[in-house]
Structure 1
């Protein structure tokens, strides 16, 4: 390592690197690296485009200005690339993993995911958006004549699986090819915290925009935001509150980014990491926040849960989301023939419940509501088809 960067520990794109391998042969590209090609394949995927119609916190029906799952993803990609650049890591891999990290989310945000998981648990299964993302890029996307899936590099597929949690080979033997006994590269490790930084900033912003959160109340409860607000207030006297709040949000985001960069660097230096193998073989993740930043992150997260995510207005939306997902799941479990033929064809190999979940997970908010209205018309209250 030189000048405090971690370039000796980054994922390289030289020949012989197993992380560059694809399931199917693919010719090289003169002007694009392997991870840049993966980035382009992801951005061009239909599942990626559907993120524009999926809830982050507020549904897009409420305001054109609230984040969708797509705009959130773009913000995470900006942060991830900045952190990777500052550390001398592989920026293309970090950006690509950020762009794909939420591609497996169902409609209606986390409420939709909880409902879908509850439905599957009745059939002895679970819904995990990371593993569903892997199914999307390996199986569902069909853009190429020679094979199903996007044929992404092993490095990107491993990052999809492991960027936010660790799996074990006993519980998930199907993931054994993803080096479950090793830590992921730093490019993958930093994605989860880039995600945290993005939504901790954005959810305060959207919460105030919605009228559900009040700036002075946030200042009284969220210490990192209060500290940043005081800094910008001293620098910009007489400026309207909403502009000071925006400046404070940007400073808060930059503070967390700087902390992530500094602490990741310190962690790698503390173990004497001089190669990617050193990162891989270390049993704990090195891309973390400092104790102070972690404490402030948890404080803000608790505040958001207590004041925004669980507020009556959003609770009503969540309850409706769970109703829609659950009733549609049950309908298609009882009426297999009402699924599109392509999904019916998958039942023998994937199982009925998993196929229904796959169909629902791929929907946008607007499309699933259309399906819900259509099913309600088909099935009158108190009757069964």
Structure 2
């Protein structure tokens, strides 16, 4: 097999794998009942706040938007009546912008401690798209679907990025093809990827960082790769705290390249600048609140019984088996116990 024929051999299966992944994401985007994905209503609330220039506030200042509380109170909170607010035909359902005067019980939004990059980006795109069409086009269920599709776009390149990284690291065509299949082997990944969640921007930026870092380790640092790595890791850090796991990777890439070519120090310094910029949110939180990832105390009850290994194991296995499939069907369908057992 020649080096020229290998990419052509990979391209065809990769295309079908990529299309299958997108189809899987779209299926979840349409099939997941509104607000039933993990913390979806809280993420949507922050997206709406960002798009309306209402600011982000401090981690303990944000409560759910009145309009989201209205649609949530309509039945989506309870699996016995998940479609109460959607009984009206399309065009007659509630519009989020028309519900700002709703005076319900606004629950606290504990996700306000997350950095703002995902919400600012998604909110800006949402505002731009919504403004292109008449207001009566955007019933709240359609707007949630729009936000989900924006998230689908974020995670859609994952199979291609996996294959690219594998090939860059010297793996063969078969191994690269298998690498591209990894996202499809985790239904929960598609479930989260098709819902409104800041994990999706973190997945995209992390994957881009790893792919570009692999190119540097197998070749050398260039200004183009410096810009890609720096921008993606900075955006990842401004999206979610777990992105700190990317910092050691960037440091290794910079040190390894500098050992080989000392003349690359301006690019290495630029990478350091991106890391500093990415840390500013956490530095600010540390200075203001004494904690780099300050969060709201939700008043959860403390453990009152001794640790039970057997109960813990059974519960963990049960939750793992459910969450692996995105708990699809679990939160809104009641089945008689005799059927389940």
Same fold (TM over 0.5): no
TM-score normalised by the chain length of structure 1:
0.27
Q: Give the alignment's TM-score, normalised by structure 2.
A: 0.30
